[in-house]
Protein backbone atom coordinates (compact mmCIF):
# COMPACT_ATOMS: atom_id res chain seq x y z
CA UNK A 1 0.00 0.00 0.00
CA UNK A 2 1.38 3.41 -1.01
CA UNK A 3 0.39 6.78 0.51
CA UNK A 4 0.59 10.20 -1.13
CA UNK A 5 -1.05 12.80 1.12
CA UNK A 6 -4.75 11.86 1.01
CA UNK A 7 -4.26 9.40 -1.84
CA UNK A 8 -3.95 5.67 -1.19
CA UNK A 9 -2.95 3.11 -3.82
CA UNK A 10 -3.89 -0.48 -2.99
CA UNK A 11 -3.10 -3.84 -4.53
CA UNK A 12 -6.09 -6.14 -4.08
CA UNK A 13 -5.59 -9.87 -3.75
CA UNK A 14 -7.81 -10.50 -6.75
CA UNK A 15 -6.44 -11.29 -10.19
CA UNK A 16 -7.89 -10.48 -13.58
CA UNK A 17 -7.59 -13.47 -15.91
CA UNK A 18 -9.62 -16.03 -17.80
CA UNK A 19 -12.90 -15.65 -19.69
CA UNK A 20 -14.14 -12.16 -20.65
CA UNK A 21 -11.71 -10.09 -18.58
CA UNK A 22 -13.69 -6.94 -19.37
CA UNK A 23 -16.56 -8.38 -17.34
CA UNK A 24 -14.31 -8.54 -14.29
CA UNK A 25 -13.60 -4.84 -14.75
CA UNK A 26 -17.34 -4.11 -14.82
CA UNK A 27 -18.01 -6.11 -11.66
CA UNK A 28 -15.23 -4.33 -9.79
CA UNK A 29 -16.35 -0.93 -11.04
CA UNK A 30 -19.89 -1.70 -9.81
CA UNK A 31 -18.48 -2.40 -6.34
CA UNK A 32 -16.44 0.80 -6.43
CA UNK A 33 -19.33 2.93 -7.69
CA UNK A 34 -21.54 1.63 -4.88
CA UNK A 35 -18.94 2.73 -2.33
CA UNK A 36 -18.41 6.05 -4.10
CA UNK A 37 -22.14 6.81 -3.92
CA UNK A 38 -22.52 6.02 -0.21
CA UNK A 39 -19.21 7.25 1.25
CA UNK A 40 -17.05 10.34 0.97
CA UNK A 41 -14.54 8.61 -1.22
CA UNK A 42 -13.56 8.07 -4.84
CA UNK A 43 -12.22 4.68 -5.92
CA UNK A 44 -10.90 3.94 -9.38
CA UNK A 45 -9.33 0.93 -11.04
CA UNK A 46 -5.86 1.85 -12.27
CA UNK A 47 -4.69 -1.47 -13.68
CA UNK A 48 -2.84 -4.54 -12.47
CA UNK A 49 0.70 -5.44 -11.53
CA UNK A 50 2.99 -7.95 -13.21
CA UNK A 51 1.25 -10.83 -11.40
CA UNK A 52 -2.24 -9.66 -12.49
CA UNK A 53 -3.25 -8.48 -9.00
CA UNK A 54 -5.66 -5.54 -9.28
CA UNK A 55 -4.49 -2.06 -8.31
CA UNK A 56 -6.90 0.68 -7.24
CA UNK A 57 -6.66 4.30 -6.24
CA UNK A 58 -8.63 5.59 -3.24
CA UNK A 59 -9.02 9.20 -2.13
CA UNK A 60 -11.43 10.90 0.31
CA UNK A 61 -12.32 11.33 3.98
CA UNK A 62 -13.65 7.76 4.24
CA UNK A 63 -10.48 6.17 2.88
CA UNK A 64 -9.89 4.13 6.06
CA UNK A 65 -13.40 2.70 5.90
CA UNK A 66 -12.90 1.66 2.28
CA UNK A 67 -9.48 0.15 2.98
CA UNK A 68 -10.98 -2.01 5.74
CA UNK A 69 -13.87 -3.07 3.48
CA UNK A 70 -11.63 -3.98 0.54
CA UNK A 71 -9.31 -5.86 2.87
CA UNK A 72 -12.20 -8.01 4.11
CA UNK A 73 -13.74 -8.54 0.67
CA UNK A 74 -10.66 -9.13 -1.48
CA UNK A 75 -7.62 -9.03 0.77
CA UNK A 76 -4.72 -6.58 0.42
CA UNK A 77 -1.08 -7.28 -0.25
CA UNK A 78 1.31 -6.75 2.64
CA UNK A 79 4.99 -6.06 2.93
CA UNK A 80 7.14 -8.83 4.39
CA UNK A 81 7.86 -6.67 7.43
CA UNK A 82 4.12 -6.33 8.09
CA UNK A 83 3.46 -10.03 8.68
CA UNK A 84 4.08 -12.12 11.77
CA UNK A 85 4.25 -15.90 11.85
CA UNK A 86 2.21 -17.96 12.10
CA UNK A 87 -0.33 -16.09 9.99
CA UNK A 88 -3.02 -17.53 7.72
CA UNK A 89 -3.26 -16.03 4.23
CA UNK A 90 -5.18 -16.82 1.06
CA UNK A 91 -3.41 -16.77 -2.29
CA UNK A 92 -3.37 -18.31 -5.73
CA UNK A 93 -1.27 -21.28 -6.81
CA UNK A 94 1.39 -20.40 -9.39
CA UNK A 95 3.80 -22.44 -11.52
CA UNK A 96 2.04 -25.66 -10.62
CA UNK A 97 3.98 -28.80 -11.61
CA UNK A 98 7.06 -26.81 -12.65
CA UNK A 99 9.09 -27.99 -9.66
CA UNK A 100 9.10 -31.27 -7.80
CA UNK A 101 9.94 -30.11 -4.29
CA UNK A 102 6.81 -28.17 -3.40
CA UNK A 103 3.96 -25.90 -4.34
CA UNK A 104 4.23 -22.13 -4.78
CA UNK A 105 1.43 -19.82 -3.64
CA UNK A 106 1.25 -16.16 -4.66
CA UNK A 107 -0.15 -14.09 -1.79
CA UNK A 108 0.77 -10.73 -3.29
CA UNK A 109 4.11 -10.16 -1.57
CA UNK A 110 6.59 -8.05 -3.45
CA UNK A 111 9.99 -6.73 -2.36
CA UNK A 112 12.80 -6.52 -4.90
CA UNK A 113 10.80 -9.16 -6.80
CA UNK A 114 7.55 -11.12 -6.44
CA UNK A 115 7.83 -13.42 -3.42
CA UNK A 116 5.81 -16.62 -3.45
CA UNK A 117 5.27 -18.84 -0.43
CA UNK A 118 6.70 -22.34 -0.80
CA UNK A 119 4.68 -25.22 0.61
CA UNK A 120 7.30 -28.00 0.70
CA UNK A 121 6.43 -31.45 -0.56
CA UNK A 122 6.87 -32.98 2.90
CA UNK A 123 4.22 -30.60 4.26
CA UNK A 124 1.79 -31.57 1.49
CA UNK A 125 2.45 -35.24 2.16
CA UNK A 126 1.92 -34.77 5.89
CA UNK A 127 -1.28 -32.72 5.67
CA UNK A 128 -2.95 -34.12 2.55
CA UNK A 129 -1.53 -37.59 1.90
CA UNK A 130 -1.45 -39.15 5.38
CA UNK A 131 2.36 -38.99 5.31
CA UNK A 132 2.67 -41.23 2.28
CA UNK A 133 5.64 -40.52 0.01
CA UNK A 134 3.67 -39.54 -3.06
CA UNK A 135 5.16 -37.39 -5.81
CA UNK A 136 4.16 -33.75 -6.04
CA UNK A 137 2.44 -34.48 -9.37
CA UNK A 138 0.18 -37.10 -7.79
CA UNK A 139 -0.84 -34.78 -4.95
CA UNK A 140 -1.50 -31.91 -7.36
CA UNK A 141 -3.58 -34.14 -9.65
CA UNK A 142 -5.54 -35.59 -6.72
CA UNK A 143 -6.48 -32.27 -5.13
CA UNK A 144 -6.58 -30.14 -8.33
CA UNK A 145 -3.83 -27.85 -7.04
CA UNK A 146 -3.32 -26.08 -10.35
CA UNK A 147 -2.54 -22.47 -11.27
CA UNK A 148 -5.02 -19.90 -9.92
CA UNK A 149 -6.67 -22.32 -7.49
CA UNK A 150 -7.36 -20.27 -4.32
CA UNK A 151 -5.71 -21.87 -1.33
CA UNK A 152 -5.41 -20.96 2.35
CA UNK A 153 -1.94 -21.35 3.85
CA UNK A 154 -0.22 -20.74 7.17
CA UNK A 155 3.14 -18.95 6.97
CA UNK A 156 5.63 -20.89 9.10
CA UNK A 157 8.98 -19.28 8.26
CA UNK A 158 9.96 -15.78 7.15
CA UNK A 159 13.45 -14.95 5.89
CA UNK A 160 13.59 -11.19 5.32
CA UNK A 161 17.21 -11.21 4.17
CA UNK A 162 16.71 -13.91 1.54
CA UNK A 163 13.13 -12.82 0.83
CA UNK A 164 11.78 -16.34 1.30
CA UNK A 165 8.58 -17.65 2.81
CA UNK A 166 7.72 -21.20 3.85
CA UNK A 167 4.15 -22.31 4.49
CA UNK A 168 1.81 -25.25 5.03
CA UNK A 169 -1.88 -25.84 4.25
CA UNK A 170 -4.05 -24.10 6.84
CA UNK A 171 -6.46 -25.99 9.08
CA UNK A 172 -9.35 -24.42 7.17
CA UNK A 173 -8.01 -25.61 3.82
CA UNK A 174 -7.53 -29.14 5.14
CA UNK A 175 -11.06 -29.04 6.55
CA UNK A 176 -12.48 -28.02 3.15
CA UNK A 177 -10.70 -30.85 1.33
CA UNK A 178 -11.69 -33.44 3.91
CA UNK A 179 -15.31 -32.34 3.80
CA UNK A 180 -15.29 -32.52 0.00
CA UNK A 181 -13.93 -36.04 0.27
CA UNK A 182 -16.49 -37.04 2.92
CA UNK A 183 -19.43 -36.32 0.59
CA UNK A 184 -18.09 -38.89 -1.90
CA UNK A 185 -19.50 -36.66 -4.66
CA UNK A 186 -17.46 -35.40 -7.60
CA UNK A 187 -16.97 -31.68 -8.14
CA UNK A 188 -15.96 -29.72 -11.23
CA UNK A 189 -13.55 -26.91 -10.38
CA UNK A 190 -13.72 -23.92 -12.72
CA UNK A 191 -10.94 -21.31 -12.70
CA UNK A 192 -11.30 -18.10 -14.68
CA UNK A 193 -15.03 -17.54 -15.20
CA UNK A 194 -17.88 -15.55 -13.65
CA UNK A 195 -20.98 -17.12 -12.13
CA UNK A 196 -23.38 -15.75 -14.74
CA UNK A 197 -21.25 -17.15 -17.57
CA UNK A 198 -21.09 -20.55 -15.87
CA UNK A 199 -24.85 -20.72 -15.30
CA UNK A 200 -25.48 -19.64 -18.90
CA UNK A 201 -23.11 -22.34 -20.19
CA UNK A 202 -24.79 -24.99 -18.01
CA UNK A 203 -28.17 -24.01 -19.41
CA UNK A 204 -26.92 -24.05 -23.01
CA UNK A 205 -25.31 -27.47 -22.62
CA UNK A 206 -28.29 -29.01 -20.85
CA UNK A 207 -26.28 -29.93 -17.74
CA UNK A 208 -27.95 -27.45 -15.39
CA UNK A 209 -30.03 -30.17 -13.75
CA UNK A 210 -26.91 -32.28 -13.09
CA UNK A 211 -25.59 -29.70 -10.64
CA UNK A 212 -26.67 -29.73 -7.00
CA UNK A 213 -24.95 -26.48 -6.11
CA UNK A 214 -22.46 -23.91 -7.41
CA UNK A 215 -20.03 -22.86 -4.71
CA UNK A 216 -18.01 -19.64 -4.98
CA UNK A 217 -14.41 -19.95 -3.79
CA UNK A 218 -13.26 -16.70 -5.44
CA UNK A 219 -14.42 -13.92 -7.74
CA UNK A 220 -13.41 -16.04 -10.77
CA UNK A 221 -13.27 -19.47 -9.15
CA UNK A 222 -16.24 -21.80 -8.66
CA UNK A 223 -16.96 -25.40 -7.76
CA UNK A 224 -19.86 -27.36 -9.27
CA UNK A 225 -21.20 -30.02 -6.92
CA UNK A 226 -22.48 -32.74 -9.27
CA UNK A 227 -25.31 -35.21 -8.74
CA UNK A 228 -24.37 -38.85 -8.26
CA UNK A 229 -23.89 -40.60 -11.58
CA UNK A 230 -23.02 -37.43 -13.49
CA UNK A 231 -20.32 -37.86 -16.12
CA UNK A 232 -18.12 -34.99 -14.95
CA UNK A 233 -15.67 -35.35 -17.84
CA UNK A 234 -18.56 -34.95 -20.27
CA UNK A 235 -19.74 -31.86 -18.36
CA UNK A 236 -16.28 -30.29 -18.66
CA UNK A 237 -16.01 -30.98 -22.39
CA UNK A 238 -19.43 -29.41 -22.98
CA UNK A 239 -18.66 -26.34 -20.88
CA UNK A 240 -15.31 -25.86 -22.60
CA UNK A 241 -17.14 -25.13 -25.85
CA UNK A 242 -18.77 -22.08 -24.24
CA UNK A 243 -16.07 -20.88 -21.81
CA UNK A 244 -12.78 -19.97 -23.44
CA UNK A 245 -9.52 -19.40 -21.51
CA UNK A 246 -11.00 -21.27 -18.55
CA UNK A 247 -9.35 -24.16 -16.70
CA UNK A 248 -11.52 -27.03 -15.41
CA UNK A 249 -10.68 -30.03 -13.27
CA UNK A 250 -12.56 -32.86 -11.59
CA UNK A 251 -12.20 -33.24 -7.83
CA UNK A 252 -12.90 -36.92 -7.27
CA UNK A 253 -13.07 -38.36 -3.72
CA UNK A 254 -12.79 -41.87 -5.17
CA UNK A 255 -9.62 -40.96 -7.07
CA UNK A 256 -8.09 -39.38 -3.97
CA UNK A 257 -8.73 -42.39 -1.76
CA UNK A 258 -7.23 -44.67 -4.42
CA UNK A 259 -4.11 -42.50 -4.73
CA UNK A 260 -3.61 -42.10 -1.01
CA UNK A 261 -4.54 -45.68 -0.28
CA UNK A 262 -6.92 -44.87 2.56
CA UNK A 263 -9.56 -42.32 3.40
CA UNK A 264 -8.38 -39.20 5.19
CA UNK A 265 -9.80 -38.94 8.71
CA UNK A 266 -12.91 -36.80 8.70
CA UNK A 267 -13.19 -33.56 10.62
CA UNK A 268 -15.42 -34.08 13.65
CA UNK A 269 -18.49 -31.86 14.04
CA UNK A 270 -18.10 -30.31 10.61
CA UNK A 271 -20.55 -30.14 7.76
CA UNK A 272 -19.85 -30.99 4.11
CA UNK A 273 -19.80 -28.07 1.66
CA UNK A 274 -23.08 -28.88 -0.11
Whether 80-176 and 2-73 are alike in CATH topology: the answer is no
The HSE-up count of residue 69 (CA atoms within 13 Å, CB side) is 14
CATH number at 2-73: 3.30.70
In angstroms and rounded to an integer, the radius of gyration of the C-alpha atoms of the chain is 20
Determine the pLDDT at residue 75.
86
Determine the pLDDT at residue 273.
33
Beta partners for residue 270, in sequence order: none
**H-state helical runs in the chain:** 21-38, 63-73, 121-128, 136-143, 171-183, 195-205, 232-240, 253-260
pLDDT tens figures, 106-149: 998 877 788 999 999 999 999 999 899 999 999 999 999 999 99
Q: Angle at which helices 171-183 and 121-128 pack, to 10 degrees?
A: 50
**6: pLDDT strictly greater than 90:** no
Q: How many residues does the chain have?
A: 274
Comparing 3-17, 136-150, 160-174, 209-223, the range with the smallest average pLDDT is 3-17
Q: Which residues contact 25 (CB under 8 A, 6 or more apart)?
A: 16, 45
Nearest CA to 164 among 172, 153, 155? 155
Question: Is 49 within 8 Å of 69 (Cβ atoms)?
Answer: no
Q: Going by CATH, does the domain composed of 187-251 fall within 3.90.1720? A: no
**181: pLDDT strictly greater than 80:** yes
Domains in the chain: boundaries: 2-73, 80-176, 187-251
Instruction: Give the integer Cα–Cα distance in Å for 64 and 67.
Output: 5
Helices (H) and strands (E) counted in the chain, each on its own, are 8, 13
The HSE-up count of residue 139 (CA atoms within 13 Å, CB side) is 27
Reported as a pLDDT band with limits 50, 70 and 90, residue 2 is low
Instruction: Give the integer Cα–Cα distance in Å for 41 and 35.
Output: 7
pLDDT tens figures, 70-107: 998 888 887 777 777 778 999 999 999 888 899 999 99
The sign of the CA dihedral 16, 22, 24, 27 is positive
Q: Measured in whole angstroms, how far is the alpha carbon of residue 108 from the centre of its chain?
A: 12
pLDDT tens figures, 200-232: 999 999 999 999 999 999 999 999 999 999 999
CATH number at 80-176: 2.40.50.140
Q: Measured in whole angstroms, how far is the alpha carbon of residue 58 from the centre of its chain?
A: 25
Instruction: Give the integer Cα–Cα distance in Å for 219 and 207.
Output: 22
The mean of the pLDDT values for the chain is 89
What is the maximum span of the chain, computed from C-alpha positions, in angstroms? 59
Amino acid sequence: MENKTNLVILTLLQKIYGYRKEHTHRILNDVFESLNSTLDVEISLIGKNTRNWIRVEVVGDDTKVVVNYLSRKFGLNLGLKEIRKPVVLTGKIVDSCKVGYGLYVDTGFYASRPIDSLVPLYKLRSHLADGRKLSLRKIIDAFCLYDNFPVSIRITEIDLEQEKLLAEPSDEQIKIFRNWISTKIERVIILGAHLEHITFALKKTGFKHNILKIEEIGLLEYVLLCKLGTNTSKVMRALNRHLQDVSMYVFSPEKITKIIGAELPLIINSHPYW
